[in-house]
Structure 1
Amino acid sequence: MTAVRAMKLLSAFALTLALYPVGADAADPGVFPDRIVLGQAAPFDGPAKALGTGMREGLLAAFAEANAAGGVKGRRIELVTADDGYEPERSVAATRRLIEGDGVFALVGPVGTPTSKAAQPLAEAAGVPFVGPFTGASFLRDPKLSTVVNVRASYDEEAEAWVRHLTEDLGAARIAIFYQDDSFGQAGLAGVEKAMAKRGMELAARGTYARNTTAVKSALLDIRKAAPDAVVMVGAYAPSAEFIRLARKLKMETTFVNISFVGSDALARELGAEGAGVVVSQVVPVPTDSDIPMVASYRAALAAAAPDAKPGFVSLEGYAVGRLMVEALKAIEGEPTRAALLDAIRDKGAFDLGGLPLAYGPGDNQGSDKVFMTVIQPDGSFKAVDKLTPPAKS
């Protein structure tokens, strides 16, 4: 061995000792002396890209806010993202790359039901925390899933709010559903059927469309035949907007109610003036209400991290997920490990984000049960409402 090569090996060994002293426990993947690396698989292209982009903006705002204050016990939080196009097969590949290639500590803010259904088992098998998925699917609320931490209310809770408001506020008797023909749509459908069965009701009509398309005409014609009082919608913003636009052209006098996953701000942009009166249920407060402490903090953090970004429901949810991660990491005693993170969330139980209280415990991996009803205004903004009113006659 040459003297030069020996010196290089000695230097490398010394660096290793400096980072990981002899006798110290080996750090979990993604944990370094100066940083903790998290991963997000989400759509950053295609018709659902606004959802992935929004969640990423909110996460980055929360992490930049924490990093500016010194990080978590001296470690800054970093985020690595991978585009899955809102397709299950791509999400599996992206998630595997984040876990095995990038060696992330945890997965945060994954987007979608079909994608989460495909990717979450990889995280479970690897013991990687799966935190704050942007979906209210019931299967992720199964307490047997040891690595899953939900922030938002479930789709069942949103569906219950829809049917309660439609029947009590508007006296709706004929309710139809438009939904994405996959596990996301089926999750929403199951919630609606449960809420209606509770009231002795059945759906007046059903219409479906294929994921990542806007082919909605057949669904619209099937639903229109039933002359529904209301149409509840379980879809992404592009196809949902197309459905509403075409329904307006056909002079359908009905109430349209969308699920939170739709991407509220993108839906309002797509609809323009035709969005007035459309209802969207939300799982976070209105992002313009700075009287709510979490919203005020979010708006300041977003402005600092991404001055050109516009506040919205999706990025506010991403911010809430990021805030939970930061608070949970701070609650860990000793060095951060994946197991310690999950234990900290369960053991601490309550996290006050300043307007969206989260509560966890044995058998309960969902932090919030809150559902907020909002209505799109003529200028494209959103108004929180306690009671629905009939749509204006055209």
Structure 2
Amino acid sequence: MSKSYRALGLAVSALALTHLPAYAQTKVTNEGISASEIVIGTHQDLSGPIKGWGVPVSNGMKMAVEETNAAGGVHGRKIKLVLEDSGYDPKRAVLASQKMVERDKVFAMVGPMGSPTVLASQDILFDAGVLQLFPLTAAEFTYKFDPAKPQERLKFNNLLPYVESTRAAVKYMIENKSFKKPCIMHQDDEYGKNVLDGFTQQVTAMKMTPASVTSYKRGASDFSAQVAKMKADGCDMVVLGTVLRETIGAMGEAKKLGWDVTFLGATPTNVLEVPALGKEAVEGLYAASGFEIPYEDTAKGKVKDWLVNYKKMFGTDANTQAIIGYNAVMTFAHYANKAGKDLTGQKMLDALESGDKFQDIFSSPPTVFSKTNHLATTITQVQQVKNGRWVLVKEGLMF
């Protein structure tokens, strides 16, 4: 071999190495995989302020594990789910994550609950090479990763993010209903700020100025000042960066004032509990949404069977939260199957980043990730409460 060829070979090798680090050095655990099972973990709020989310999410996850195992598991391995209660407390989420990594030797953390709890505990997972998959928060930190920090590559999210979904829904409403004075009322925390960002970005992009921007403290129950201000400011559409109680409270206040204005909720308002508890106060509410909410008397095929089975297992009707929990485990099982019989952490990571699509039974947009994008989808729907039920108004929306 001539000197120049050898030098060229060395130069090419060196060049290849300089382009590798971000991907090459991600450490992924092989813990939790045995000949007979795959151990996955999750922390949920089963006793605290958002147990109305945590309990049905956990139920949906248990149902998916049972279904997958009954069908032969993942290449013959049964899924074992370790479930811990965080009480929506970051300190408890940290302790639960440490236990699951050190004692239970989990292979992946699937569907953990809540922005503050997930944020507090995720570095424990990354340091141990444990994948953090499909957490129950649409905050940006759950899917945006710095390629210079290879362990951040272990995070993936399949929920609709608040900023993008709010933008898509606001764009649709303004274009189709010719609103001139858009306004927003939002919770003054990380979630509310994300909704505010989406609203502000879209209104600015459409060369409009918000007629009113107002906020409230998390846990507040009186919205009379905010609603009176928005009415005085002449709002014709109000975006709600609210959850359950605040959505009902704000719309009830508007009805009390005899103020006929259009309300558009961010994705957390798009749950069965809002029309069930809000009754006529929330009639006409629009909301950004990721997938259609099924009802047992109108559902068909697999979705109908799923609703019936859920009720049989847990003695209560399934809701959006149960679907999200179920899908988290089903999505995990899909990519673990794709990773092959000799499952390893690296093969699981490769399967997730392969661009392979997962399609759920609920007609959601398909889940697909790549090496550079760990967010599954930003495709948004708009739904509306009509006669106490969520009805699809428009699907396939982008901004």
The residue aligned with 2:98 is: 96
2:386 to 362, 377, 381: 377
CA RMSD of aligned residues (A): 2.5
The residue aligned with 1:269 is: 276
CA-CA distance at 1:77 after TM superposition:
1.7
TM-score using structure 1 length: 0.82
In the alignment of these two chains, the number of paired residues is: 358
Give 5+ residue unaligned stretches, structure 2.
Answer: 1-28, 147-151
The residue aligned with 1:386 is: 394
The residue aligned with 2:185 is: 178
CA-CA distance at 1:363 after TM superposition:
0.8
Code of the aligned partner of 1:165: Y
Give 5+ residue unaligned stretches, structure 1.
Answer: 1-26, 388-394
CA-CA distance at 1:265 after TM superposition:
1.3
Within 2, Cα distance between the matches of 1:89 and 1:233? 30
- 3-state SS, counterpart of residue 106 of structure 2: coil
Code of the aligned partner of 1:174: K
2:375 to 353, 366, 370: 366
Within 2, Cα distance between the matches of 1:122 and 1:209? 33
Residues 176 and 115 (structure 1), Cα distance of their counterparts in 2 relative to 1, 3 Å cut: farther
1:106 equivalent to 2:114? Answer no
1:198 to 197, 205, 211: 205
The residue aligned with 2:161 is: 154
The residue aligned with 1:259 is: 266
The residue aligned with 2:337 is: 330
2:250 to 243, 262, 271: 243
TM-score using structure 2 length: 0.81
For each residue in 1:212-252, what CA deviation from the matched residue of structure 2 results, as whole angstroms up to 9, or x when unmatched?
45454444444343231121112221222222222322223
CA-CA distance at 1:361 after TM superposition:
1.1
The answer on whether the counterparts of 1:258 and 1:279 sit within 8 Å (CA) in structure 2 is: yes
Identity of aligned residues (%): 24
1:169 to 169, 176, 181: 176
Within 2, Cα distance between the matches of 1:217 and 1:137? 29
For each residue in 1:91-150, what CA deviation from the matched residue of structure 2 results, as whole angstroms up to 9, or x when unmatched?
334333333343322111123333333333332233221111222222323143311111
Residues 316 and 87 (structure 1), Cα distance of their counterparts in 2 relative to 1, 3 Å cut: same
The residue aligned with 1:21 is: none
Code of the aligned partner of 1:376: V
Which deviates further from its counterpart, 349-358 or 67-76?
A: 349-358
Code of the aligned partner of 2:207: G
The residue aligned with 2:18 is: none
Which deviates further from its counterpart, 212-221 or 46-55?
A: 212-221
Code of the aligned partner of 2:100: L
1:127 equivalent to 2:129? Answer yes
Within 1, Cα distance between the matches of 2:153 and 2:334? 19
For each residue in 1:268-313, what CA deviation from the matched residue of structure 2 results, as whole angstroms up to 9, or x when unmatched?
22212322111122112222364585x356436534643x231322
Code of the aligned partner of 2:209: E
Code of the aligned partner of 1:28: N
CA-CA distance at 1:183 after TM superposition:
1.2
- 3-state SS, counterpart of residue 320 of structure 1: helix
